[in-house]
Chain A
């Protein structure tokens, strides 16, 4: 089956009012003999929340990990095709470290580093060489406010980060990513282990962050995609079946498989 053509056929032209932030063309990811992505072409637009839905093994996470080159760490993963960030090739035009400062990532499980809350948030800036205490203090407060966590933990910044609750930890991880002031944030099923209230807080943060940043959200939760997504893409077995405005995907999907997934016939 020629996945490349299927995917390309569904890639819509970018609307004139929003420039392309990330341009992905013919992306192929293979793990040994397994092809996780079979030739994906997609545009991520500036200041949008692009949600990616699909059953497990559809290549959602593999796609996300290519965007900040975390896929480089996997010795078995082979990546082909081109990814442009602001029209710059992320493999040749920029170092992996600089790319990851511009394209942040939130993982499915909150993983606080074994440091204090404060040191977790300043980890990124410190690794980039920021030493000025006043700057770091400011960054911590701003990031925590943006992640809706400041009021809850402002007096406990020296506490080990793992003492926070799961929902707080995930918002801490968001704050930690925001400390680098990234242009793009990749969310990889960020609420899969959280309760509804924590989930709501994180969705609220995403909607707020979108005003100044670009967000790609991979989620198993179709309702979440409907709540926060501006455009939604449906992935299936390493191919993009369909992409369009979230409302259209959920009310009038063009492909039968999309409809089957959304109404819960599989996945």
Chain B
């Protein structure tokens, strides 16, 4: 019996170690970025234009650019993704077409982000003549996030018990009314989760915006969707590798702002989600 107890403890210890291995790098990253980047944060850093070949001034255009990309791409991919998921989960019959679509979605999720960038370049920038612009970059990012949104939305819809649908149908509701009034309200928190995941991904990706929207150095704000824009991840790449003599604090400050934005958006979405949950 004592042998079993020892095994238990050993097993428990191994599992705990595995968990720590996951947590430690996360903590290390956050601590590193916060300690090194905190000093760089200031009103000037956040809200002024870069000057002197980005060696001085702030990162305001990159912050604005990242926010713009997030909102435009989600505005594009969330409705399309949710509608596709509703079709697949509530309407589509299990036939070869549905199976092919499912396969396509899985594969789309596995495509590496630089390939999306190349695809965006050839389709939006060159073929559709949108040029290197916010609209090209947002559409590219939007397509990249579609599989995430579709998959999470579909899971959320599937998690709604069948009995709710049956009750709605038994009260004479049509299929669309059932989806709209009985299924979607209950699936909303799950759908928001998908949107949250996408926001983080869109804000942080570099490769898809590399050829489609990102400006190297643009000391003014974009005025329309057909303008180029700076974005935080690409800006970070540029000041880290392309320009010598940049104060170290700038790099970590930029990284801190990037994870800060994702964090703030996640918190905002979580608050929204729990508000919806509490309503029922």
Do A and B belong to a common assembly?
Answer: yes
Interface residues in chain A, defined as those with a beta carbon under 8 Å from any beta carbon in chain B = 68, 70, 73, 75, 96-98, 100-101, 104-105, 107, 109, 111, 113-114, 123-124, 127-128, 160, 162, 173, 176-177, 180
Chain A: minimal CB distance from B128 (Å): 40
Please determine whether A176 and B169 come into contact, CB atoms closer than 8 angstroms: no
The 5 closest A-B pairs by CB, nearest first: A124-B171, A101-B172, A114-B280, A127-B173, A105-B170
B226 on interface, CB distance cutoff 8 Å: no
Q: How long is the Cα–Cα vector from A233 to B44 in the complex, in angstroms?
A: 83
9 residue pairs A–B, Cβ–Cβ below 8 Å? A97-B172, A100-B171, A113-B167, A113-B182, A114-B164, A114-B186, A123-B173, A127-B181, A177-B170
Instruction: For B280, list chain A residues within 8 Å (CB).
Output: 114, 160, 162
Contact with A along B157-168 (1 / 0, CB 8 A): 000000111111
Please determine whether A123 and B185 come into contact, CB atoms closer than 8 angstroms: no
Instruction: For B185, list chain A residues within 8 Å (CB).
Output: 114
Please determine whether A70 and B166 come into contact, CB atoms closer than 8 angstroms: yes
Number of chain B residues close to chain A: CB under 8 A: 20
Q: Which of B163, B171, B172, B177 contacts A109 (CB 8 A)?
A: B163
Chain B: minimal CB distance from A106 (Å): 9
Please determine whether B181 and A111 come into contact, CB atoms closer than 8 angstroms: no
Task: Using A113-B182, A160-B280 as known contacts, say yes or no to A97 and B174 having CB atoms under 8 A apart.
Answer: yes
Q: How long is the Cα–Cα vector from A123 to B173 in the complex, in angstroms?
A: 9
Q: How long is the Cα–Cα vector from A70 to B165 in the complex, in angstroms?
A: 10
User: Nearest CB to that of B163 among chain A residues?
Assistant: A111
Instruction: For A97, list chain B residues within 8 Å (CB).
Output: 172-174
Q: Which of A73, A75, A98, A113 contacts B172 (CB 8 A)?
A: A98
Chain A: minimal CB distance from B92 (Å): 11
User: Nearest CB to that of B172 among chain A residues?
Assistant: A101
Given contacts A100-B172, A127-B171, 4 further A-B contacts (CB under 8 A): A70-B170, A73-B165, A107-B167, A180-B171
B99 on interface, CB distance cutoff 8 Å: no
Please determine whether B171 and A177 come into contact, CB atoms closer than 8 angstroms: yes
B52 on interface, CB distance cutoff 8 Å: no
Please determine whether B172 and A128 come into contact, CB atoms closer than 8 angstroms: yes
Q: Which of B94, B163, B170 contacts A68 (CB 8 A)?
A: B170
Q: How long is the Cα–Cα vector from A127 to B165 in the complex, in angstroms?
A: 14
Instruction: For A96, list chain B residues within 8 Å (CB).
Output: 169
B93 on interface, CB distance cutoff 8 Å: yes
Please determine whether A113 and B164 come into contact, CB atoms closer than 8 angstroms: yes
Instruction: For A177, list chain B residues within 8 Å (CB).
Output: 170-171
Chain B: minimal CB distance from A61 (Å): 12
Q: How long is the Cα–Cα vector from A35 to B166 in the complex, in angstroms?
A: 22
Instruction: For B173, list chain A residues within 8 Å (CB).
Output: 97, 123-124, 127
Q: How long is the Cα–Cα vector from A75 to B162 in the complex, in angstroms?
A: 13
